[in-house]
């Protein structure tokens, strides 16, 4: 176990884990069945009131770190082992990992898009590397409230008495029943409305969107832009498609970056990046396959630097 995995494991055991911690531990568990045995032993060690007799191979250093960090903390037994096993099995089935902790629920995706149904019947498509959280007050409380990191498409069940609210850092979107795409990533938050209406609050901005509109809020300068867009292109990712209609090439490259979690560098302000194109690609294609097709029509060259970096020139 390397130090990064060990740190994430400690965070899981001590209830300080992030989505990245959970995904890293899940991947570690998938690598070798022996890792599951080691996790069980460390978890039992952490949850025991009395130090078990004997030492578990490979876990003493982890145990000492846990003791030093949480020496005076009251420990409450957890069933994290079962939760992480469930997370791994769900991930292998291309479904979201669902983590339950203190009556809160976290749905996390890794390298695949996943669909989930919330307790009110609202359906959610969660894009790659995204995280959705809600707690037990989602049902029975005055509002149906969730928190989003990454991107999701919501088809919200209509309920006039219980507004549906998506919190995204500096922004919140409130709806009664509608279909829309929400993206909270990097320096911006965007809402793209397909049906119904959305009331969006970001800083001092308070706007109501109509179908076909997209609002983009910048977290750095608190500016907001609203424009009419082709919603089928924006929301195509949920059907495992990447699609643009009469948009600059640079917009498509930005969508590819977001979809695959890569970095595409446009070298020397390449003029072809402003060429207007219409294109659609299967989301199961590789970045290289897509760039090779685009190269033939947009007349550019490309090369791959590493697993996550591509240069257009």
pLDDT tens per residue, range 219-258: 999 999 999 999 999 999 999 999 888 889 998 998 899 8
- Of 215, 232, 249, which one is at a domain's C-terminal end? 232
- Does 264 share its domain with 298? yes
Tell me: the pLDDT tens digits for 169-202? 889 999 988 999 999 988 999 999 999 999 999 9
Helices and strands of the chain, counted as H and E runs = 8, 19
CA atoms of 296 and 191, how far apart (whole Å)? 33
In a domain, 93, yes or no: no
- Does 142 share its domain with 209? yes
Find the radius of gyration of the CA atoms of the chain.
22
In this predicted structure, what is the pLDDT of residue 296? 85
In a domain, 258, yes or no: yes
CA atoms of 147 and 108, how far apart (whole Å)? 12
In this predicted structure, what is the pLDDT of residue 215? 97
Phi, psi (5° rounding) for residue 174? -115, 130
Containing structural domain, residue 21: 3-83
Low-confidence ranges of the chain (pLDDT < 50): 49-58, 63, 67, 69-95, 100-102
The structure tokens 């033939």 sit at 296
Which residues is 152 bridged to in the sheet?
Answer: 126, 182
- Of 171, 199, 232, which one is at a domain's C-terminal end? 232
- Does 56 share its domain with 125? no
In this predicted structure, what is the pLDDT of residue 61? 52
In a domain, 272, yes or no: yes
Find out whether 167 and 182 touch, Cβ atoms under 8 Å: no
- Of 195, 214, 232, which one is at a domain's C-terminal end? 232
In this predicted structure, what is the pLDDT of residue 19? 58
Total domains, the chain: 3
The structure tokens 């409380």 sit at 141
In a domain, 200, yes or no: yes
In this predicted structure, what is the pLDDT of residue 179? 97
In this predicted structure, what is the pLDDT of residue 28? 79
In this predicted structure, what is the pLDDT of residue 207? 96
- Does 142 share its domain with 216? yes
CA atoms of 159 and 161, how far apart (whole Å)? 6
Q: What is the DSSP string of 120-154?
A: TS-EEEE-TT-EEEEEGGGTTSSSEEEEEEEEEEE
- Does 75 share its domain with 140? no
In a domain, 227, yes or no: yes
CATH number where 293 lies: 3.55.50.30
- Does 226 share its domain with 298? no
- Does 116 share its domain with 224? yes
> Which residues make Cβ contacts (< 8 Å) with residue 271, sequence separation at least 6?
none
Enter the pTM of the model: 0.65
In this predicted structure, what is the pLDDT of residue 15? 57
In a domain, 98, yes or no: no
- Does 228 share its domain with 122? yes
In a domain, 103, yes or no: no
| Beta strand 302-306 pairing with 309-312 | antiparallel
Q: Which residues in 49-142 belong to E strands, given as ranges?
A: 97-101, 104-108, 114-117, 123-126, 131-135
Virtual CA dihedral for 142, 162, 178, 261, nearest 10 degrees?
20
Residue 188 CB burial class (10 angstroms; 0-12, 13-18, ≥19): middle
In a domain, 126, yes or no: yes
- Does 250 share its domain with 174? no
In this predicted structure, what is the pLDDT of residue 271? 84
């Amino acid at each position: 176990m390397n130090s990064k995995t060990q740190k994430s494991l400690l965070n899981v055991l001590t209830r300080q884990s992030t989505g990245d911690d959970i995904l890293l531990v899940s991947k570690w568990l998938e690598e070798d069945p022996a890792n599951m045995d080691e996790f069980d032993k460390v978890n039992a060690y952490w949850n025991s009131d009395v130090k078990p007799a004997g030492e578990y191979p490979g876990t003493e250093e982890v145990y000492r770190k846990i003791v030093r960090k949480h020496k005076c903390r009251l420990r409450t037994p957890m069933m994290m082992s079962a939760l992480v096993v469930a997370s791994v099995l769900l991930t292998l089935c291309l479904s979201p990992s669902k983590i339950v902790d203190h009556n809160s629920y976290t749905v996390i995706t890794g390298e695949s898009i996943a669909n989930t149904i919330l307790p009110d019947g609202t359906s959610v498509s969660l894009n790659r590397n995204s995280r959705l959280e809600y707690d037990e007050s989602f049902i029975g409380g005055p509002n149906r409230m969730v928190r989003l990191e990454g991107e999701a498409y919501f088809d919200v069940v209509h309920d006039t008495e219980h507004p549906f609210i998506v919190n995204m850092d500096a922004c919140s979107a409130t709806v009664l029943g509608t279909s829309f795409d929400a993206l909270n990533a990097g320096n911006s938050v965007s809402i793209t409305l397909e049906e119904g209406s959305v009331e969006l609050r970001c800083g001092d901005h308070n706007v109501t969107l109509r179908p076909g509109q997209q609002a983009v809020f910048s977290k750095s300068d608190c500016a907001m832009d609203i424009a009419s867009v082709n919603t089928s292109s924006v929301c195509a990712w949920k059907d495992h498609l990447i699609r643009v209609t009469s948009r600059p090439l640079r917009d498509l490259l930005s969508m590819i970056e977001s979809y695959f979690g890569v970095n595409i560098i446009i070298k020397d302000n390449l003029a072809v990046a402003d060429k207007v194109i219409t294109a659609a690609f299967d989301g199961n294609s590789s970045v290289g396959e897509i760039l090779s097709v685009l190269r033939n029509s947009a007349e550019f060259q490309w090369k791959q630097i590493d697993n996550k970096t591509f240069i257009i020139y």
